[in-house]
Amino acid sequence: MTSEIEMAFAHPSARSEAMSPDVLDRISVRDHVVHVEIGAFQAERGTTQRVRFNVVVEVYPLADDAADDVDRILSYDCVTEAITAQLADGRLNLLETLAENIADQILVQPQAARVFVRIEKLDRGPGNLGVEIMRSRADAGQIGTALTVQPIVMFVPFGTMHNSDLGAWLDHFDVSQTPVILVTEAAPDQSPQCGDTLLQRRIDLLSIDQSACVLAAYDPRIQVVGSLTELDWGLKNHQISVWAPSKIVADVIEGAPERITDPMDMVQWFAKRLTASAVWGLGTPQQSDGAYEVNWLTEPPTDH
């Protein structure tokens, strides 16, 4: 009988076979190596490393003869496309998250019963560093970071943080439980300058993070949030959040905002990414090019 230790270090296909109470067909993609930017360490940002994927999918048998028809079976392309799609969706810190997302996408396929995903970093140590997960159809659909509520995105310029109108609008949001996420900008002339483009982009994002903390200090109802999961939780729990952009923007591989220092570009990009219901701005109207027309709030609300 195969030991648990042997199974722990066996290929996912061996684990799949040993763990199956019933014999199911399997398809696999083995030793699929891709250059990926991933990792939580600063040294892993701005560079790629080799990552190896091994995926085994247990599939339910078709009701009748597949008649050698590729359109009726779960193909290898389903696996490789899941890997490609999840790598393109945004930069991740953890292999665990990437494995979960790949498994979740594969399990959407009607024929998929269970999936084993092993991912290994090949360049981060003397050996291979990796994770392996197993997910079944019962687990599908429980992973994701899409917002459950389409909020109002409200731009609060740095100079209006102390404005009494902001307090009146916060009262309005609090009483009406209007889903809202505040966005601010870096303090004028406060971002240090350097000659490295990648580092300067990081500095500019962190400067906006600092402003978000300053804004939150004006009112205890405002909570600083930096991830989609936090944003979603805040919306579902009627929390007034202010966006600290460094994590979300730094993690985006394709389609990231180009002009970090243009606050209205950041607002438009963020609103589009969240599929916001509307975009508001506090104070003097500013020029804004994008999909959303900005509703500039020059007077406090009259409903409280």
The verdict on residue 91 lying in a domain is yes
User: 26-40, pLDDT tens digit by residue?
Assistant: 888 999 999 999 988
What does the DSSP assignment read for 38-70? --SSGGGTTS-EEEEEEEEEEEPPPSS--TT-G
Look at residue 159 and tell me if it is in a domain. yes
The pLDDT value given to residue 143: 37
Is the domain of 234 the same as that of 108?
Answer: no
CB 261 within 8 A of CB 135: no
Check whether residue 159 and residue 292 sit in a common domain. Answer: yes
Q: Which CATH number covers residue 125?
A: 3.30.1130.10
Q: What is the pTM of this model?
A: 0.61
* Whether 197 and 119 share a structural domain: no
In a shared domain, residues 118 and 206: no
Using an 8 Å Cβ cutoff, are 188 and 158 in contact? yes
Does residue 304 form part of some domain?
no
Q: Give 36's strand partners.
A: 49
Together in a domain, 190 and 239: yes
- Claim to verify: residue 13 and residue 83 sit in the same structural domain: yes
Boundary residue ending a domain (97, 115, 139):
139
In a domain, 192, yes or no: yes
The CATH number of the domain holding residue 279 is 3.40.1160.10
Structural domain includes residue 147: no
58 shares a domain with 162: no
pLDDT of residue 211: 95
Report how far residue 88's alpha carbon sits from residue 252's, in angstroms, rounded to the nearest whole number: 9
* 146 domain residue, yes or no: no
Number of domains in the chain: 2
Residue where one domain finishes, among candidates 139, 161, 183: 139
The answer to whether residue 144 sits within a structural domain is: no
8 A C-beta contact, residue 166 and residue 182: no
Supply the pLDDT for residue 145.
44
Residue 303 domain-assigned (yes or no):
no
Q: 246 and 132, same structural domain? A: no
What pLDDT, on a 0 to 100 scale, did the predictor assign at position 50? 95
Do residue 27 and residue 135 come from a single domain?
Answer: yes
* 190 and 271 share one domain: yes
Q: Do 156 and 28 belong to one domain? A: no
Task: Indicate whether 15 and 58 sit together in one domain.
Answer: yes
Edge-first strand order for the sheet with 49-59 is 25-36, 49-59, 112-121, 129-136
Domain that holds residue 133: 4-139
pLDDT in tens, 183-203: 999 988 777 888 888 888 889
Query: Of 139, 166, 201, at which residue does a domain stop?
Result: 139
Walk along the chain (304 residues) in steps of 10 and give the mean pLDDT of each run.
61 72 80 92 87 91 61 78 85 89 87 91 89 80 56 93 88 90 88 83 92 94 87 86 89 73 92 92 89 91 70
User: Phi and psi at residue 56, in whole multiples of 5°?
Assistant: -125, 130
Find residue 153's DSSP bridge partners. Answer: 181, 279
